[in-house]
Amino acid sequence: MTPALFLLWLSTIVFDTCGQLMFKAAALKEHPGQGWSYWRFILGQPLILTGVLCYLLEFLLWLAFLAATPLSLAVLLSSLNIITLMLAGHWLFDERLSPWRVIGMLLVATGVTLSGVAG
């Protein structure tokens, strides 16, 4: 993988992770009521707009990455965002990282590494 392609892939991981984190932060804000009032409140949050923009950028970068990478490898590499999301959720939102989740992250990373070396 060329350095430019690596940066493109890394950018997709960063923007996907940032989008998810923005959505999570917006969902955790104190909100009035339930039903429609909840959804009006959530959709009016700047964090939601930021998350959508992150997803839009990630989508465009992902298309560029797909144009230069075999689909089987691209999808495999994109699975690493599971790890970034779990770690960011732990650090930013105090979400629990159980031993089984850590083992799962290590297995995902190992699988991606082995597939990348073999591919």
Give 53-84 pLDDT, tens digit per residue.
999 999 999 999 999 988 878 888 888 888 89
How many CA atoms are closer than 13 Å to the CA of 41, on its beta-carbon side? Answer: 13
What's the whole-model pTM score? 0.84
What string of DSSP letters covers 13-56? HHHHHHHHHHHHHHHHS---SSHHHHHHHHHT-HHHHHHHHHHH
**What is the domain count for the chain?**
1
- Domain residues for the domain of 113 are 3-118
What does the pLDDT look like over 25-60, one tens digit per residue? 998 887 777 788 888 888 888 999 999 999 999 999
